[in-house]
Structure 1
């Protein structure tokens, strides 16, 4: 049998009836009202129950694990996913969420549900207690991220999403100062318990000249602040020669004043100039304290002399013990001259000390 295909009659150039909404037949007002009310009811149901609505569709349509195809009219998760146009893994996440909720008595078990059956559903907010949105959440890494998110009082889904997209995290850090600050604080907290990360970060800093200089500057500022803090809080000073002494009341009060100014600085404020001013002020007062006390001034000179003598002795002992084995290999013309000059300086120092002892 031959089927004749008849071409539709060509429309006139000025025939615009199909494109003109005003020319279209008017819809039945009652039917339109019914469609609008149905959308409103479905919207309200979803607003109240959220993803439980989709969980129910899976629970009443996917057969429980262990059941063969002939034992139930329901579909396998794979078949359901193919009809839904999504992955079986996604279907199983809804399945497992419903299973957990059923064990807690919030919803009926799969076996009690028939295809198309409606039941009362829990509130939407409860869904996130049972639903794991990503398979990564069940891994050791995902479990740790979930626990950390809960400890911070945020939804694990947010943290897992960020963890699965480090490129997006990098973009946010580069573009947004507040995100960079949050990342910095988190990284510092992580460093306390991660020696490997400490080593890697230290290596990165050492290889970056700008960071290396910045770290050196901050370390210097920290040392200066700590010096002022010890004077203010412990009431002790260390003289240029290394003596430890009780700080005079005036000096300690000045250290406390500078320390209070330093403690009031915000994290965003540069502490370098304040630290340098506090350190220089306290160091100057220490020197003035030493110079104002004749006995202390003498003791300072004695301590400094002993310190220099001990250093020189140690250096010369290392020089002679390590290098005097075979002078033939290392000899230079000016070595003897330098040692003779050193010997003369030592003899002069010994003579002065003996003369001083005779006058005591």
Structure 2
């Protein structure tokens, strides 16, 4: 079976062998015709040869003059997998209405082919493209507006990807963004990454530092946007207009920082300023000042009560020391004085 690339007719003088300035050997003219056909139709030329010669799935040898993909590959001197990649590319294009269905094709009969630049949208020269993993990579590449072959090549060369990430900040940034996007839906990867961070002391410190910065920025944002603030003792009060305006000013400065710019110093300044203004707000209002002291006092009593409620003395004999009793007696004296002061205050 001879696999010749179909080509349009060319002027007769192209193949002239007689003497003359334009005369060229027929072998060169044939190569030129075939090159012209390929330049216009690209891989579609070869896909057509497969599509019109290979039996569609489900057809038996007695139902068609066409051959199996395996037999076609033997005749072509290539692998059946390569033949099937061309076959599948044609199949998808046929479903899109770009080329005729297999049943409409006859061996040796040419049909009009799409432009060459459309070919790569349907064909991948990589066998990984047909796997579940390859299909996912292809879909993601198309969503990003790049050729699937580029993404598949990267996926098949993780060492090259690692080298690019280590050497190039831009590639590292792209990898970071991709990982963050993937973390949203990949629970297993989130767990692995969390364990990796926990196992590295320098990363744990970095995460703690960034968490502190984020918490401070969120505190300022709540004041600016929520309109309520929490005092040092834990009271929730309405933020005065001046306090909200100052919080909004600092928040706007933080929001204007470029991506990747260090926000720690700005966040610390904003947080410190807002906390100071909250304290000044409390001190400037006599009722708030008293309520703040009352809230703080109750908080201290609650904490102390909880501590004593958790104490057990079933095995006191094993850890008893005279100093323990002495310090508790001193505490008892302080509690008695505190109770007496409160009773006097009550009249």
Is the shorter-chain TM-score for this pair beyond 0.5, marking a shared fold? yes
Per the shorter chain, which TM-score range? Answer: 0.7 to 0.9
Match runs of 1:142-181 below 5 Å: 142-181=134-173
SS at match of 2:112: coil
SS at match of 2:194: helix
**Offset, 1:80:** 4.3
Distance in 1 between residues matched to 2:121 and 2:106, nearest whole Å: 22
Check conservation: 2:90, 2:99, Cα contact below 8 A: no
Instruction: Choose the corresponding residue for 2:106, options 100, 113, 118.
Output: 113
**Offset, 1:181:** 1.6
Per the alignment, do residues 34 and 190 of structure 1 end up closer, same or farther by CA in structure 2, a change over 3 Å counting?
same
Greater mean deviation of Cα atoms: 285-294 or 271-280: 285-294
| 2:196 corresponds to 1:204 | yes
Match runs of 1:1-360 below 5 Å: 32=24, 38-60=30-52, 62=54, 66=59, 68=61, 72=65, 77-82=69-74, 84-102=76-94, 104=97, 106-107=99-100, 109=102, 112-115=105-108, 117-319=109-311, 323-358=312-347
Instruction: Return the TM-score normalized by structure 2.
Output: 0.83
Greater mean deviation of Cα atoms: 221-230 or 120-129: 120-129
Distance in 2 between residues matched to 1:113 and 1:351, nearest whole Å: 109
**Offset, 1:247:** 1.3
**Offset, 1:170:** 2.0
| Count of equivalent residues | 327
1:250-285 Cα deviation digits (max 9, x unpaired): 111111100000111111211100000000011111
**Offset, 1:163:** 2.5
Distance in 2 between residues matched to 1:211 and 1:124, nearest whole Å: 50
Check conservation: 1:255, 1:278, Cα contact below 8 A: yes
Distance in 2 between residues matched to 1:277 and 1:102, nearest whole Å: 64
Per the alignment, do residues 307 and 112 of structure 1 end up closer, same or farther by CA in structure 2, a change over 3 Å counting?
closer
Distance in 2 between residues matched to 1:118 and 1:124, nearest whole Å: 16
SS at match of 1:328: helix
Gaps of 5+ in 1: 1-26
SS at match of 2:319: coil
The two structures, once aligned, show a CA RMSD in angstroms of: 2.8
Check conservation: 1:107, 1:121, Cα contact below 8 A: no
**Offset, 1:223:** 0.6
Greater mean deviation of Cα atoms: 294-303 or 52-61: 52-61
Structure with the greater alpha carbon radius of gyration? 1
Distance in 2 between residues matched to 1:175 and 1:51, nearest whole Å: 36
